[in-house]
Amino acid sequence: MTVMVVGGAGYIGAHVVRLLQEAGVGVVVVDDLSTSNAGRIGDSPLVELDAASPEAVEVFRRTIREYDVDSVIHFAARKQVGESMERPLYYYAQNVGGLVNVLEAMQAEDVKKIIFSSSAAVYGMPQNVDMVIEETPCEPINPYGRTKLIGEYILADCARAWGLSYAALRYFNVAGAGWPELGDEAILNLMTMVFDRLERGERPLVFGDDYLTEDGTCIRDYVHVKDLAVAHIKALDVLDKPGSEHVFNVGTGTGASVLEVIEAIGRASGRDTTPIIKERRPGDPPRLVASAKKIERDLDFVSTTGLDEIVDTAWKAWRFQHD
């Protein structure tokens, strides 16, 4: 049995690859290395490929045959919300096109199990919702979120048409590092953006402190990347029945505010993290916290790593990369 991990050299993918390797499961990684590097995947074979390129279906088919692939984990995608609003066609071509190519190859080679990286971005701006459940209406507010929701629709259609079994995992705010060398190298999210400013001797920025939350800053559900990786391994186990469809939030059920995260960064780093308050950033929901009940019930998965450990491992990984 071999798992083909598309986007396996990226931040989250590399954590899953590491866990599969530790479990003795065969892995082949397919990655274009555009936002990742081959050093993250150890000894696993690497096929360098842009999943959305014209030759992708053929290369995926060959890879499936060569490595006797029986399941796929599909991470590869563009994930910058702002960029998706400026270049929507690029996002649809990459995220939707890439998924379609993977599925075409799977159908042709009779591989019927896939785990798909979806996102809390499918929910958009849930109003007056304490915790988002999987049935909360999906109303994405940007092309990035729409590419993920369309991905879920495509999977559902394939499940009904040719017996594809899938699990779509809706990630909340992923952070931390399971191994210092596998940290998030992008400076696109709160923790790494704060680290980057501290590194340059600047104070952290808070985008708005006048939201209707306890301390006025936005609340998110931070989930440790290694816990998230474990969820993928557990999800592989529920795909044996043909045509099975699963959609899960992956979060902790607990929220933390921007100020709480910045304070935790102060504790982990020993630096002064007194923030500068800026304007609100457009499109930020005040509160986005997962109900994690369904994945607990169906996969026996609970993410237990607390905020301090998430921040601490993220900071150690940052130091590993920058010292």
Q: Annotated catalytic sites, by residue?
A: 144
Pick one of 139, 193, 245, 254: the residue that binds ligand WQD (CB under 6 A): 193
Residue 55 tokens read as 């030759």
Q: What are phi and psi of 304, to 5 degrees?
A: -110, -10
Residue 263 CB-half CA count within 13 A = 8
Q: Which residues between 139 and 178 bind ligand WQD (CB under 6 A)?
A: 173
Nearest approach in angstroms of CB 79 to ligand WQD is 4
N- to C-terminal Cα separation, the chain: 39
Nearest distance from C-beta of residue 14 to ligand WQD, angstroms: 15
For ligand WQD, which stretch binds (CB under 6 A), given 31-39, 48-56, 203-211, 230-238? 203-211
- CA 66/CA 30 separation, integer angstroms: 13
- By residue count, the chain amounts to 323
Judged by beta carbon, residue 173 or residue 291, the one nearer ligand WQD is: 173
Binding of ligand WQD by 205 (CB under 6 A): yes
Q: Is 207 in the site for ligand WQD (CB under 6 A)?
A: yes
- Minimal distance in Å, beta carbon 259 to ligand WQD? 9
Q: Which of 220, 224, 226, 287 binds ligand WQD (CB under 6 A)?
A: 220
Single-letter amino acid, residue 65: R
Which two structure tokens, joined as six digits, stand for 245? 């469809």
Of the two residues 18 and 287, which places its CB atom closer to ligand WQD in the complex?
Answer: 287
Tokens representing residue 253 in the block: 């059920």
Contact 257, 228 (CB under 8 A): no
Least Cα distance to 169 among 104, 80, 236 occurs for: 236
Of these, 21, 189, 254, 321, which contacts ligand WQD (CB under 6 A)? 189
- Of the two residues 281 and 293, which places its CB atom closer to ligand WQD in the complex? 281
Residues binding ligand WQD: number (CB under 6 A)? 17
Q: How many CB atoms lie within 10 A of CB 111?
A: 21
Contact predicate 160/243, CB 8 Å: yes
Name the DSSP letter for residue 119.
E
Examine residue 226 and tell whether it contacts ligand WQD (CB under 6 A): no
Least Cβ distance, residue 99 to ligand WQD (angstroms)? 15
Q: Cβ(12)–Cβ(229) under 8 Å?
A: yes
For the window 230-259, what string marks contact with ligand WQD as x by the rule CB under 6 A? ----------------------------x-
Pattern 78-97, ligand WQD, x by CB under 6 A: -x-x----------------
Closest CA to 20 of 31, 35, 39, 5: 5
292: Cα within 13 Å, side-chain hemisphere: 22
Q: Which stretch binds ligand WQD (CB under 6 A): 12-20, 31-39, 185-193, 242-250?
A: 185-193
**Residues forming the site for ligand WQD (CB under 6 A):** 79, 81, 119, 121, 173, 189-190, 193-194, 205-207, 218, 220, 258, 281, 284
